[in-house]
């Protein structure tokens, strides 16, 4: 992936800042969309969610983190390039809808950080908090993606950011609010199935961005394949096979490897928001 595009100023670097706290994400966990909950430790998403829902308070042991500076190292600049290009895509597409796009922030942190949704931790993987409209990512996640899940490449990393930005797009369009309201009336299996549709749409939106990034000549040979490998690597069936030794489709929360790749490619081929209706039939 070419990295000579515009740099977003909506990236905050909190790496190296001290923050102590107990608990996972509390207060508003029902609205937090996690891309790869516990991927690095093979934790089932339902375990994390169950623990998080019981968290009552975040007890600080050190001074809360203050806003960080814009990153200037290569890893930070890469995040800024990817986010900057997503901003170009979604600003343009929202204008076509007659709407304004409120650009999200990406916060780079290490180990743990404060969010409007509670304490974000590295073990959760990258996630989007709708309460502060920010994406949170510990860049150590990329090592796990490459080494443990065999999905190397800079565009695989870009896909992860684009997927999280896809959740922000859902939030902007009111989709997240509607699905949360619907989830209150569903049983566990139905709620899991709805979560899958939410995640697959974020994959599709990531593909929509990739389509337009390709039109801007940002993509290089092999980039799409890198993204597809990453999507496949974090499919529920692949994760369950690796961590449990068996696949339980009823417990899927993000979609199978095949589904994730297929919906990413659906967005990639069309470049249109309307192609990403994963909720058809509800």
Task: Express each pLDDT in 94-145 by its tens digit.
Answer: 999 999 999 999 999 999 999 999 999 998 889 999 999 999 999 999 988 8
Q: How long a stretch of residues is the chain?
A: 282
The pLDDT value recorded for residue 66 is 55
Domain interval for residue 61 = 11-276
Give the count of domains, the chain. 1
Are the CB atoms for 26 and 57 separated by under 8 Å? yes
Residue 279: burial class (beta carbons within 10 Å; 0-12, 13-18, 19+):
middle
The tokens for 264 are 């990413």
Instruction: Please check whether residue 30 lies inside any domain of the structure.
Output: yes
Instruction: Please check whether residue 244 lies inside any domain of the structure.
Output: yes
Instruction: Please check whether residue 136 lies inside any domain of the structure.
Output: yes
133: Cβ–Cβ under 8 A, 6 or more apart, which residues?
102, 104, 105, 168, 171
Q: Which residues of the chain register pLDDT less than 50? A: 21-65
The pLDDT value recorded for residue 20 is 55
- CB count within 10 Å of CB 52 equals 23
The closest of 142, 137, 161, 151 to 230, measured between CA atoms, is: 151
The pLDDT value recorded for residue 258 is 94
The tokens for 123 are 């073990």
Residue 26 to residue 120: CA distance in whole angstroms: 9
Task: Express each pLDDT in 149-175 by its tens digit.
Answer: 888 899 999 999 999 999 999 999 999
Instruction: Please check whether residue 175 lies inside any domain of the structure.
Output: yes
The pLDDT value recorded for residue 204 is 97
The closest of 106, 151, 162 to 276, measured between CA atoms, is: 162
The closest of 142, 192, 190, 201 to 168, measured between CA atoms, is: 201
**What residues does 113 pair with on adjacent strands?**
120
- CB count within 10 Å of CB 176 equals 19
Are the CB atoms for 30 and 180 separated by under 8 Å? yes
């Amino acid at each position: 992936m070419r990295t000579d595009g515009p740099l977003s100023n909506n990236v905050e670097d909190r790496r190296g800042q001290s923050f102590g706290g107990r608990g996972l994400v509390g207060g508003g966990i029902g609205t937090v969309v996690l891309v790869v909950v516990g991927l690095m430790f093979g934790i089932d998403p339902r375990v994390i969610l169950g623990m998080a829902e019981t968290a009552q308070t975040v007890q600080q042991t050190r001074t809360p983190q203050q806003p960080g500076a814009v990153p200037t190292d290569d890893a930070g600049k890469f995040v800024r390039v990817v986010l900057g290009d997503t901003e170009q895509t979604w600003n343009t597409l929202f204008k076509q809808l007659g709407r304004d796009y409120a650009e999200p922030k990406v916060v780079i942190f290490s180990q743990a950080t404060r969010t409007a949704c509670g304490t974000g931790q590295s073990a959760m993987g990258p996630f989007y908090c709708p309460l502060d409209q920010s994406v949170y990512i510990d860049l150590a996640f990329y090592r796990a993606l490459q080494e443990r899940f065999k999905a190397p490449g800079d565009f695989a990393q870009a896909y992860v950011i684009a997927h999280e930005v896809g959740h922000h797009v859902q939030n902007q369009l009111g989709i997240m609010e509607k699905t949360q309201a619907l989830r209150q009336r569903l049983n566990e299996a139905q709620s899991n199935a709805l979560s899958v549709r939410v995640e697959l749409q974020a994959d599709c939106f990531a593909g929509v961005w990739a389509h337009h990034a390709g039109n801007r000549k940002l993509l290089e040979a092999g980039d799409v394949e890198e993204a597809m490998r990453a999507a496949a690597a974090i499919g529920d069936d692949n994760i369950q096979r690796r961590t449990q030794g068996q696949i339980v489709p009823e417990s899927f929360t993000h979609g199978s490897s095949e589904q994730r790749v297929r919906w990413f490619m659906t967005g990639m081929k069309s470049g249109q928001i309307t192609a990403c209706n994963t909720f058809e039939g509800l």
